[in-house]
Structure formats: C-alpha cells, structure tokens
Amino acid sequence: MNTWKQVLSDRMPAAWAEEIDVFETQIALKKQGKVDDKLFAETRLRRGIYGQRYDNGQRHDGKAQRTLTFPSAGLLKGTDTRWDAPGMQRIKLPWGGMTPEQMDALADVAEEYSDAICHVTTRQDIQLHFVHIEDTPDLMRRLAAVGITTREACGNSVRNVTACPIAGVCRDQTFDITPYADACFRFLLGHPDVQDFGRKFKIAFSGCRENACGLVTMHDMGFIAAIREIDGAMKRGFEVRVGGGLGAVPYEAKVLEEFVPEEEILPLTQAVSRVYARLGEKRNRARARIKFLVDRLGIEEFRRLVREERKVIPHDDRWTDYIQDVPRFVDEPLKAGKAAASAGADPAYQAWRSTNVYRQRQEGYAAVTVTLPLGDITCWQMRELAEIARRYVGDNVRTTVEQNILLRWMAEADLPALFAELLRIGLAEPGAGTVVDVTACPGTDTCKLGIASSRGLAGELRQRLAARFATMDQSVKDLRIKVSGCFNSCSQHHLADLGFYGVSRKTGGRTVPHFRVVLGGQWQNNAGSYGIAIGVVPSKRVPDLVDELTAKYLAERNKGESFRTFIERSDKKELKAVLDKLAVVPPYELDRSYYSDWRDPREFTLDDIGTGECAGEVVSMIDFDLQAAERQYFEAQLHFNDGDFRKADETAYRAMLQAAKGLVRTQFQDIGDQPDRIVAEFRGRFVETGLFRDKYAGTKFAEYLFHRHEDRQRRFDRDHARHLLEESQLFIEAAHACHAGMLERAAAAKAKPAREPAAPAPA
C-alpha cells in the first residue's frame, strides 16, 4: 500500500473519506480545466484551504514588484490565485479540544506539508502555512483518521464553534457547556440550512456571563449558560445572543432570547440560520454578516421572524438526541487529584505558576496554560507536548482564543515535574494572559489582506516587555495587548486594553507602516465593551507608545482604577497628544528604519515612487482635507464619550463628507459644501470609476458614506453612533489609501516618458 488513502481507509469516517475523495477529484478536474475558477475557490475554502499572501504571483521584494513564475503558469485555484502558490490550511478544532493522538497527527502534517509550525488562532483553530493545494487531500485524510475535519473551516459557512477552554473545570461556570458546543458543531457541519449564507457565521459558547472566555458578545451567535426554575425543577438552558462581530465595524450581539432550554438550542440555531440565509445580504459582502441583518431589521423583528421560522421547521431527532449523552460528557482525569506538597523554592517555577496555573473547581487539580509565542508551536514541541499530555492529563487538552494550549486536569502535585518537562521543550514561559502574552493575527507574514506586520510588532513587544516583566507593576502586567495586521480585527484588538491595527501613511512620497491605536477594550464580561480608536502612530514608535501610555496610567490612575476606566475617563485630547508626540516620521534620508516594518527589512513601498513634483499641489490640498476629516472624527469621539450620540453621529458623518470632498477637490476644485453634491460627485468620480475601490473590500467603505447619507430616518442612539464612528474612521483610512494610489499613479505616469525614447518629431 503506498497511498494514505489506502493505508487509512478503515480509520476515516466513511462520509469524511468520501468528501475528501470528491475534493481530490475536483482538484484533478480543475487541473484539466473543467471547473470554473470561482467555483473551485469556494470549494477549497469550504475545505479550509485559504489563499496566502503573494498567491496572485506578484511580490514586492523591497525594490521592485516581481512576478513569481510558478511552473504551472496558467493554472489557477481562484480568480487570481496561482495553482502553485503556497496557501494556508485552516483546521477546525471544535471548542478547541485536542487529544494527544490528534496532536501527533497535526505535528506530522505540519512537518511534511507545511513549515513545521502549528499556529493556534484566536478562534481555537490550528493553521498551517505554505501548503501546496495538491498535498491537501492526504493532509485531510491523515487528520480525518484521528477525528479532525477541515470542512467549513473557511468560506461562507459555520466556522469553528468555540467555547471557554476551562469549561468543566471552571470555578465560576453555571455548568459545563462543552457537550452543547460539541452538539452544535456536529449538527451544523454540512447541514443544508447553513450552505447558503452571504458570509461566514461564528458561534461561541460561554459557561458564565462575567468572565471573558467565551467572548459571546462578539460572535454572530452566542450562548451563555443559564439555569432556570421551570415547574419547580431546575432546568439547564442558555441566554442566546445574535448579531455580534468584530471585523471592520464591531457590533455587540443583542439578546435574542433570555432563556432557551437545552432541547431548544439546536432548532433555534437552525431557525436563525434559515432566516439569515433567506434575508441576509448576498451580493454586497461588506454588509453580509448577520450583524447587518439584525441591525437593519431590529432585534424585535428579527426575533419575530426566527420564532415564526422555528414553528415551521420539520422536526429533527438530532435536536435532542445528544442530551441523553450530556451527563456522560465528563472529563476523565488521568491521575488522582493531589495538592502540591509545597510552593517550591525555584523562582522561575513560582513565576510560571503564578501566571500559568489555574486552580480547578475540582480539588487537587489545575489547568495549566502552555504559552505559545505568537501562537506558534513547532512540530517537535507538539509531539513532545502530546507525550507529556499522555503522561499527565490524557485527552484533556484544549487550544485557547489567546493562542495558547491548555492542559487540564493536572494533579497539582505534578506541577513541578510538568514545569521541568515544559522547560526541556522550551514551553515553560510564564506570563499567560498578561501583557507579555501578546496576541497577533498573521498580518503581512502570510495574510493577503495584511497592511502592516502584526506579528513583527507583537514579537518586538513581547521581547521588550518580557525583559522587564518581573519588575512591572501588577496592574501593567494584567493588561492585554492585541495586534491586527488590518482593520479586520482577527486578533480581536477591539477587546484589548491596548489594541493596534495596521494602516499606512504617505510621507515624502513613500509609504510608512503605521498602527491605529484602540484603547480600553474589555475582555471580561464576554467581551463586554470595545475600545476606542485614538489615533495613528508609525509602526516603529508603537513600543514607545506602550511605555508612555502605561507610565501615564501608573502616574495618573485613581486607587484601584483599571486601565479601561482610566482610558474612559481620560481627556482624549491628552491621550491624543501622547500619540501625536510619537507620530512624526523623519525624512527618509535621515532615518530609513521608519520605512520598513518590524522583522521585515524590505522597504515598505508598493512601488519605487519618488517625490513627484507633479503631485505636489494635489498632495497639499488633499492632505489638508484629510487632516480636517481626522480632526472631525476625533471630535465625534469626544461627543460620543460625553454621551451626545446625535452630535457624535452627525460629526462622524461630516468627517466622511470632508474626506470625500477632499478627494473630489483633486479633480473638481469648486465642489462646494452641499452634502448631496459631494456624495454625487464622489460617487461619479471615485466609486463608479473604481478609483476608491479597495482591492479586497471593494466599495464597502464608500457604502458607509452612502448608507449614512441616505438614512433619512436616522436613529441617534449609542449603537448607531458607535458603528458610524467606526465606519467613519475606516472611510477616512480608505480615503488615505485612495490618495496614496493617486500619488503612485501620478509618479508612475511621470516616470514613464523619461524611460521611453522620445517620440520622433512630426515631419
């Protein structure tokens, strides 16, 4: 036998094996030119195979844009995705659960088909990078043989169902939500009612309301465990929320039902899915997440529709079948619980124990966080960790949304031995869940949408903060930092004390990596509230900014005041002044370091652009307008903080108009101040011509302006004002990007005739 298909035929679930065979056939047909590019792209996405940076065959090497001439030149795996370009394989781990056997398999496929690294994501998945499409069927078979499917890990489908990693061992839980999360995953996997969504759909379960673990309010649909007395008996159920999401504009999920008994959660989820599939936006990706549908309809109408739908769904035994197994869904500890004899004398052990060990609700046991730098673990470490798990905790291993791995049911008496084992394999770093445990999305390392190097910055912050962690004030240690490569928030930066996302700015005709700073988000209370964007600093000044902000907090906080409360009550102008001090970018000739990103020495430009004089006038005028838009946006935030939501909303709208007007003025000086005229001219000159089109987001940002402009029955409440603030900020970012594109084209146009021989003079 010399294929994995043959070797593993009796170890894979038959249905999964067949799906993989079908996918392999689709690969073969695609190679023969018999499958449309778009269709194949969605097919592979639904198998968790994602595009990766440079897969369009173009890469800027720091000096010039180069074409990557792959061997199978004309063959594509998506509309603009080269066949041979390495891609990313996302692997779903429902509720983050992993067994040692699965860890071994993950390590093996990472080593053989990827780059020997397993990357834990902020949704408890594992991602492998640099994978060739033709290796994926075998990769999937090897995972299927140990009970892992990659089905619907990407694409417009139900993504990984996440849950508190300490569910079942948590001291605060209402009850263990794991069997419910598992049932939800199994019920929805491949379900016909979840195949026709306009966008992805993320579900989370949380065992309590107060703690952060489940992050329910930032999900499309979320469940918070609750118990109610019904007819004299205590009944398990859930508060169900819907319509949350981070992404470019964060929405807090609304309460759909305050209490749904356990037997109703699957049919209710099915009803929600059907309403979303039927009424959710399909053509306009920018407004296709369920949060927009809930917002458009209002939660009351959405609830009514879901309840109506619930009444007509044909009965399915699976809705309740799993409930009889719930009592059996209990973790089995490998070893007897035993308290530690002493706290140990080793300071390294004590430091690790103070941050990485959680005392379980079960006497004598602890849950141990294995801190993974930037979410990465090598295949060797993964195999060693699997062995350690076999010796101490058995199958009780989970990934966390903070990109770590949790070993549950550790007998406390074994902690010193475990620490020694982790030390041996380089996984005994302390600081789990603290300021050094920086979360980062893949950013420009591998993500096609990345603007700045989130991992580079996160690595730098980790290193600097770890060096002085031991002497830090406890309240600074307790902060959380999250870094995203762009506005899409994959690192969940909105929930961090200090959140950052990548943007860029032009200085002297060159592009400089920057990060927008989002402060005071709340991780607790299931992602209780989102941070506010204060301003923008060059990438290379972010570590200094962290120092300045934490020093300011320590110097000016009230007794016992949290960072979030401090930010909330701080004068935003003062905070902005801290940023502004660091915002200056020295000229390229004086300091080139600003012009490349962390851990990526390439010059951060999209083309070799000089400071073209031809763009001079355009630059100064538009710069002025964009600056005014930024200022108005900032004022809108101040109104919001003062609770004046109407003023915040109107000012944010004006900020967008100002940015749009600035762009229009580059072509039409006398545009004037009439909103209708600005919007019409902006639409005609920038949107319909494609000038304002974002490569990936399309016209999404322009629609924010159109949507607000056309909203004649505007509701001036907190939620709408907050969303508009986010939209306004993104619109202004897009205007900056559009302006940068204009400069680049102007410079290219100027450079072109100089390189070409002069045309002969007419005779």
Residues that bind other proteins (CB under 8 A): 2-4, 7, 53-54, 59, 61-63, 68-71, 84-86, 104, 108, 111-112, 115-117, 129-130, 132, 138, 373-374, 376-378, 380-381, 383, 425-427, 445-446, 455-456, 459, 462-463, 599-602
Measured CA to CA, the distance from residue 630 to residue 728 in angstroms comes to 9
Q: Which helix (H) or strand (E) holds 573?
A: helix 572-582
Q: 């924010």: which residue's tokens?
A: 704
Q: Which of other proteins, ligand SF4, none sits in contact with 376, Cβ below 5 to 8 A by type?
A: other proteins
Only one of the segments 92-100, 222-230, 375-383, 436-444 lies at the binding site for ligand SF4 (rule: CB under 6 A); that segment is 436-444
Least separation in angstroms between CB 490 and ligand SF4: 3
Residue 116 interacts, among ligand SF4, other proteins, none and using kind-specific CB cut-offs from 5 to 8 Å, with other proteins
The DSSP bridge pattern shows strands 397-399 and 97-98 to be antiparallel
Q: Residue 553 Cβ, how far from other proteins at the closest point, in Å? A: 27
Residue 456, binding choice from other proteins, ligand SF4, none, Cβ under 5 to 8 Å by partner class: other proteins
Go through 671-689 and write b for each residue having 16 or more CB atoms within 10 A of its CB, e for each that does not.
beeeeeebbebbbebbbee
How many residues bind ligand SF4 (CB under 6 A)? The answer is 13
Q: What is the 3-state secondary structure (H, E, C) of 280-335?
A: CCCCCHHHCCHHHHHHHHCHHHHHHHHHHHHHHCCCCCHHHHHHHHHHHCCCCCCC
**Distance in angstroms (rounded) separating the CA atoms of residues 484 and 74:** 33
| Burial tier of 642 (Cβ tally within 10 Å: 0-12, 13-18, 19+) | exposed
Euclidean distance between CA atoms 324 and 328, whole angstroms: 8
Question: Tokens 């100064």 sit at which residue?
Answer: 620
Binds 602: which of other proteins, ligand SF4, none (CB < 5-8 Å by kind): other proteins
The option from other proteins, ligand SF4, none interacting with 117 (CB < 5 to 8 A, set by class) reads other proteins
The interface partner of residue 490, options being other proteins, ligand SF4, none and the CB cut-off 5 to 8 Å by kind, is ligand SF4
Say if CB 563 and CB 553 are below 8 A apart.
yes
Q: For residues 203, 208, 211 and 216, what is the CA-based torsion angle, rounded to 10 degrees?
A: 20
Q: Which is nearer to other proteins, 201 or 595 (CB)?
A: 595
- The least distance separating ligand SF4 from the CB of residue 40, rounded to whole angstroms, comes to 22
Q: Which is nearer to ligand SF4, 161 or 490 (CB)?
A: 490
Binding mask 37-76 for ligand SF4 (x = CB under 6 A): ----------------------------------------
Structure tokens of 233?
A: 């008996």
Measured from the CB of residue 296, what is the shortest distance to other proteins in angstroms? 41
* Shortest CB 611 distance to other proteins, Å: 23
| Footprint (CB under 6 A) of ligand SF4, residues 194-253 | none
- CA separation, residue 454 to residues 314, 435, 514, 626 (Å): 47, 16, 11, 25
The helix (H) or strand (E) run that includes residue 564 is helix 563-569
Residue type, 339: A
Report, in Å, the least distance between residue 441 CB and ligand SF4. 3
- The helix/strand/coil state of 42 is helix
233-242 vs 600-603, strand pairing mode: unpaired
**Which residue among 430, 485, 521, 612 contacts ligand SF4 (CB under 6 A)?**
485
Taking CB under 6 A as the criterion, which residues in 445-474 touch ligand SF4?
A: 447, 449-450, 454
| Residues 588, 620: Cα–Cα separation, whole Å | 19
Which entry of other proteins, ligand SF4, none binds 443, CB below 5 to 8 A by partner kind? Answer: ligand SF4
User: CA 533, 536, 540, 546 torsion: positive or negative?
Assistant: negative
Q: Any contact of residue 483 with ligand SF4 (CB under 6 A)?
A: no
Q: How far is the CB of 436 from other proteins (least distance, A)?
A: 12
Give the nearer residue to other proteins in terms of CB position, either 132 or 677: 132
> Which CB atom, from 94 or from 442, has the smaller least distance to ligand SF4?
442
Is-contact 92 107, C-beta < 8 A? no
Listed residue (586, 510, 424) closest to 744, CA to CA: 510
Chosen from ligand SF4, other proteins, none, partner binding at 433 (C-beta under 5 to 8 Å by type): none
Whole-angstrom distance, CA of residue 456 vs CA of residue 462 = 10
According to the binding rule CB under 6 A, does residue 488 interact with ligand SF4? yes
Residue number with CB closer to ligand SF4 (581 or 695): 695
> What CA–CA distance (Å, rounded) separates 314 from 499?
45
The CB-of-129 to ligand SF4 minimum distance in angstroms stands at 12
> Could you say whether residue 441 binds ligand SF4 (CB under 6 A)?
yes
The first and second tokens of residue 541, run together, are 């000044």
Task: Report the residue number, 207 or 502, with the smaller CB distance to ligand SF4.
Answer: 502
Using CB under 6 A, which of the segments 81-89, 439-447, 583-591, 705-713 binds ligand SF4? 439-447
**Footprint of ligand SF4 (CB under 6 A):** 441-443, 447, 449-450, 454, 484-486, 488-490
